[in-house]
């Protein structure tokens, strides 16, 4: 181990200026002094001090405060654009000089159940092989909760069903999965083709209220009243599948996730005269300073998902390159 050495005045000054720049970018993203301080493992006075130092250095006001709220000034928006590019280039330079085995970073990934049960393990394995020094945290939750965690700076990248449509975030379509209505063989007649009206009279097991798949239920049935019928909700895909297997209702789920259960006869496919729309999965991330791996993880996720889809039965999972 190399002995510790005292930083020179020039090195200390550079480190302080980089800290000021990084603090401004995080503050512009999180829009909260307390969350920014927590994310950077420092105090709110330190955040205010770094911001003030950067404003003095540039000679402009970057943030306009209105009570507890604040917004970026026009100069702040322009500075953010330039500083993000500067820090991104600097991070890329550092990563280019870094031995992958020596990268000591925590990568926080958020994903919904459908991704966890399909190609996320493959992505995890590749990340472990490429960056053995990286600590990987995986959070499985609903789309609503994952995006909330992302906005609060608690996740680096998410794979869910909605994008983050806010300044500074990047989102792209990863893949799409076909959906099937499934239920217990005791409840479903596999030789029968059900109409939408007939499905509406059966007990339904759906995703969490407010989630993208839940919002698709009423348009599918063309009747809002179905939402007040025999409807059960869950934010867990495995729970939905278990309830369907045990005969508590039918559920619209990604077909690729229940292939084994359909093959074994634990679940039966409900033949319908109107297919349920496919689910499209979206990755979102914020290329902030210090997240050296995020861009590379995003690219690796694209390749991993595309490879997985190419290996599946045609029509179950696919990548639409026109949407990427």
- CA distance between the termini of the chain: 45
The pTM for the full model equals 0.73
pLDDT of the residue at 5: 40
Residue 296 has pLDDT above 80, yes or no: yes
Continuous segment of H or E residues that includes residue 85: helix 74-96
> What DSSP designation does 143 have?
H
Per-residue confidence (pLDDT) for residue 54, from 0 to 100: 86
Bridge partners, 279 (sequence order): 177
Asked if pLDDT for residue 323 goes beyond 70, the answer is: no
Confidence of residue 291 (pLDDT cuts 50, 70, 90): low
Q: Identify the pLDDT of residue 43.
A: 87
Tens digits of residue pLDDT in 245-271: 999 999 999 999 999 999 999 999 999
Give yes or no for a contact between 133 and 180, defined as CB atoms under 8 angstroms apart. no
Distance in angstroms (rounded) separating the CA atoms of residues 136 and 124: 8
**pLDDT tens-digit series, residues 168-204:** 788 999 999 999 999 999 999 999 999 998 998 899 9
pLDDT in tens, 129-171: 888 888 899 999 999 999 999 988 899 999 999 999 887 788 9
Q: Quick check: 291 and 212 in contact, CB under 8 A? A: no
């Amino acid at each position: 181990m190399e002995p510790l050495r005292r930083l020179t005045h020039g090195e200390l000054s550079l480190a302080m200026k980089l800290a000021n720049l990084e603090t401004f970018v995080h503050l512009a993203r999180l829009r909260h002094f307390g969350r920014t301080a927590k994310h950077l493992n420092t105090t709110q006075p330190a955040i205010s001090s770094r911001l003030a130092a950067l404003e003095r250095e540039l000679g402009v006001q970057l943030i306009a405060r209105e009570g507890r709220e604040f917004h970026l000034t026009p100069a702040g928006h322009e500075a953010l654009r330039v500083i993000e590019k500067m820090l991104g280039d600097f991070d890329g330079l550092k990563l280019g000089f870094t031995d992958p085995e020596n990268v000591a970073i925590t990568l926080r990934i958020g994903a919904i159940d459908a991704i966890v049960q399909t190609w996320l393990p493959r992505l995890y394995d590749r990340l472990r092989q490429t960056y053995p020094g990286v600590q990987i945290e995986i959070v499985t939750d609903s789309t609503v909760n994952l995006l909330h965690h992302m906005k609060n700076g608690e996740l680096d990248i998410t794979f869910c069903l909605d994008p983050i449509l806010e300044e500074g975030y990047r989102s792209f379509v990863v893949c799409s999965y076909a959906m099937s209505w499934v239920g217990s063989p005791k409840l479903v007649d596999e030789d029968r083709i059900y109409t939408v009206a007939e499905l509406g009279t059966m007990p339904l097991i759906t995703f969490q209220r407010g989630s993208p798949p839940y919002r698709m239920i009423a348009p599918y049935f063309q009747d809002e009243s179905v939402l007040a019928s025999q409807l059960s909700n869950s934010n867990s895909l495995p729970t939905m599948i278990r309830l369907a297997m045990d005969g508590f209702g039918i559920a619209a789920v990604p077909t690729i996730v229940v292939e084994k259960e359909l093959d074994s006869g634990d679940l039966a496919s409900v033949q319908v005269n109107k297919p349920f729309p496919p689910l499209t999965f979206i990755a979102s991330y914020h290329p902030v300073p210090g997240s050296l791996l995020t861009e590379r993880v995003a690219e690796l996720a694209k390749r991993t998902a595309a490879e997985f889809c190419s290996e599946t039965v045609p029509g179950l999972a696919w990548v639409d390159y026109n949407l990427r």
